[in-house]
Structure 1
Amino acid sequence: MKKTLLTTGLVGMLLVGATAPAIAISDSASTPLPGTGAKVEANAWQCNAYVDKCSFKTSTKAKKGSSKYKVSKITNTATVKANGWQATLSLSPSGTKVSESTRRVSWTNKNTWISDISGIADPGGALNTSVTTCSDGGAFKSGVKAFASACAND
């Protein structure tokens, strides 16, 4: 599992009072798809700093080396959680309510190499401190399957 902090923009722009750079946190993990030489990769990205709302994106990809690998069925489930005391969460797309602070959205594609989800998290509640975005994915081909999971949190 690898975690990456991505930033764009120039430090000099910050020194002269320009708009703050876009910041994102990401995580990815992969698992071999047995007997195919391919792997299933789960990816999760989310904003690192936010004032009101936080964007997120998750994906599941099937790859053989660096190339796309077509599978029979590929699924991705995004689970977004607001962390903190009495935290609440609204999500767009709305998804399934797991708890007051957690929502889940799923997507399945057939005969392709990717399934992805993106949206906006709107955390609230007293002492809300952070957001966590997890990506759980699976791929199926010729009677074999594999699953991978990744979580990004600030």
Structure 2
Amino acid sequence: MRKALLTTGLVGVLAAGTAVPGAAISDSGSAPLPGTGARVVANAWHCNVYADKCSFKTSTKTTKGGAKYKVSKITNVATVKANGWQATLSLSPSGTQVSENTRQVSWTNNNTWIADISGIADPGGSMNTSITTCSDGGAFKAGVKAFASACAND
């Protein structure tokens, strides 16, 4: 009975056009946080297949030896772009309009190890529209800073 419920739930998720684990387009990038032994890691994901809308998520994390590493300030900027002829983009959360087909959303946290953003992209325009999701992040601790970027492309 439980297996049937999980399968039905997965079909519902696919029909809604949201990301399914293992079926997402993703990318990551990292950079050392000087003098700390920690790394700043940027991640970007969005759904692989969608009919109308597409979920996206970006994050900036700091880790040291695979464990969470707390910093003074950590920032993440998500840039989502609809690609294609006469492409347009609506985003939830709405963010800042960079152009007709590009939006940005940013988030900053203090005294923690992560800043993340998630939402729904609604591309419009030509039928051959694809999405690019980029994550640009930075971390600051004890007078040093580092930045990392990642871009997931269809």
The TM-score with structure 1 as length reference comes to 0.86
5+ unaligned residues in a row in structure 2: which ranges? 1-6
Q: How does 1:140-151 map onto structure 2 within 5 Å? A: 140-151=140-151
SS in 2 for 1:50: coil
Question: Structure 1 or 2: larger strand share?
Answer: 1
SS in 1 for 2:129: strand
Q: How does 1:31-50 map onto structure 2 within 5 Å? A: 31-50=31-50
Deviations 1:50-91 (A, max 9, x none): 000000000000000100000000000000000000000000
Aligned-pair Cα RMSD in Å: 1.5
Aligned residues: 138
Distance 1:97 1:52 in 2: 20
Please say if residues 89 and 121 of structure 1, whose CA atoms lie closer than 8 Å, have aligned partners that are also in contact: yes
Distance 1:140 1:35 in 2: 12
One-letter identity of the residue aligned with 1:64: K
Distance 2:48 2:69 in 1: 31
Which residue does 1:67 correspond to in 2? 67
Distance 2:69 2:151 in 1: 23
One-letter identity of the residue aligned with 2:50: Y
Question: Structure 1 or 2: larger helix share?
Answer: 2
SS in 1 for 2:52: coil
Distance 2:30 2:93 in 1: 26
Offset of residue 45 of structure 1: 0.6
Which residue does 2:152 correspond to in 1? 152
Moved over 4 A (4+): none
The sequence identity of aligned pairs, in percent, is 80
Please say if residues 32 and 146 of structure 2, whose CA atoms lie closer than 8 Å, have aligned partners that are also in contact: yes
Distance 1:142 1:73 in 2: 10
SS in 2 for 1:36: coil
Please say if residues 72 and 112 of structure 1, whose CA atoms lie closer than 8 Å, have aligned partners that are also in contact: yes
Please say if residues 62 and 71 of structure 1, whose CA atoms lie closer than 8 Å, have aligned partners that are also in contact: yes
SS in 1 for 2:119: strand
5+ unaligned residues in a row in structure 1: which ranges? 1-12
Q: How does 1:111-150 map onto structure 2 within 5 Å? A: 111-150=111-150
Distance 1:26 1:115 in 2: 17
The TM-score with structure 2 as length reference comes to 0.86
